[in-house]
Amino acid sequence: MALKYIEEYRNGTLARALVKKIHFASKKKLRLMEVCGTHTMSIFRHGIRSVLPAGITLLSGPGCPVCVTAQKDIDAFVEFARLDNVIVTTFGDLIKVPGSSSTLGKEKAEGADVRIVYSVFDAINIARENKNKEVVFCAVGFETTIPTIAAGILMGIKEKLDNFSIYSANKLTPPALAALMETDGVKIDGFILPGHVSVITGTNAYRETFEKYNIPSVIAGFEPIDILHAVLLLIQQNEKEKPDLENAYPRAVSDAGNIKAKKIMNKVFKVCNASWRGIGEIPLSGMNLKKEYQKFDAAIKFGMDMPDAPEPKGCACGKILLGLKTPYECALYKKKCTPMTPVGPCMVSSEGSCAAFYRYS
């Protein structure tokens, strides 16, 4: 669907025509998962769930980086904040995520130096201006942000910044899709694949998972027309029983992705196993610093190795990220757990499904 201007991707007439086609094509009950927090928010913001046939269920998957960060990594961030002479730099959402004993926000209120940044380069600036302190950056992100963090490390080397390091809780998307498909009880009839991650990875990154599981998969942009178009394609693939890997976001995503960004990412980081909230350890689903860059690894620099920790009592974030539950099915939703008093990360993050349900549904 080649449109030219952003307004066209929000055009009501086009949207109504797509909804009509969706209703016409939809015969089977289908569970479609959007694997990106930005899709989740866009779906709610534009009321997309309300215009779909009753048989189409949209599930929010493990696509919000804050939500999938394992409890032990949140605990590590809190421990860094408790160290003397350390400034912890973090994206805003993380500050409210409850760890096992505290949050970064609580530590800040009690005197820890925790600062909200908008990119790794803000953290580097803080390191430049505070040479007598150690600056730790909480690196939480997918393929979209990892190249920028790699660029930050290279800048740190160039400037001989000895007081800057990162704690990498970075994650890769395709291995998580494969892990979902292997998880008992998970039932997904199609993936709405993440637009901005795919700008970096390219369509080819999903080919192995698609070929192994033969699951309908469509890369989508974030405007309502993009999402409705992706839903239509997934319904058509299912109805025809012809699974395909389609790129419905060609204005931004190519087969090969952003080669320059991938090059810088792979120069600095190596693939490693990673722990995901609700899923556990997924082989080769994380990115940690290569040996030659390990002087920037905060876990090594400070000997930080936190044990695995359970999710907060009663919190169903893990099951929600797997599409096994909805926020409505969590006993704490809207009672003990609200955006003001979040129990789990899915209620904290602006891309979390509990926060989206709370705000829009």
- By CB under 6 A, name the binding residues for ligand SF4: 315-317, 320, 327, 330, 332-333, 337, 342-344, 346-347, 354
Nearer to ligand SF4, 65 or 344 (CB): 344
- Centre a 10 Å sphere on the Cβ of residue 319 and count the other Cβ atoms it contains: 16
DSSP 245-284: EEES-TTT--SS--HHHHHHHHHHEEEEEEEETTTEEEEE
Nearby residues of 160 by Cβ (< 8 Å), 6 or more positions away:
none
Smallest gap from Cβ 67 to ligand SF4, in A, equals: 8
State which residue has the least CB distance to ligand SF4.
344
Nearer to ligand SF4, 10 or 319 (CB): 319
Smallest gap from Cβ 328 to ligand SF4, in A, equals: 9
- List the one residue out of 107, 87, 104, 84 whose CA is nearest residue 163: 87
Torsion-angle region of residue 325: left (phi > 0), alpha (psi -120 to 50) or beta? beta
Nearer to ligand SF4, 160 or 313 (CB): 313
Nearer to ligand SF4, 41 or 343 (CB): 343
Smallest gap from Cβ 351 to ligand SF4, in A, equals: 13
Which is it for the CA torsion 6, 250, 139, 312, positive or negative?
positive
8 A C-beta contact, residue 191 and residue 233: no
Smallest gap from Cβ 231 to ligand SF4, in A, equals: 25
Nearer to ligand SF4, 283 or 314 (CB): 314
Nearer to ligand SF4, 88 or 347 (CB): 347
Smallest gap from Cβ 141 to ligand SF4, in A, equals: 20
Smallest gap from Cβ 337 to ligand SF4, in A, equals: 3
Token readout for 300 is: 């090594």
Nearby residues of 263 by Cβ (< 8 Å), 6 or more positions away:
none
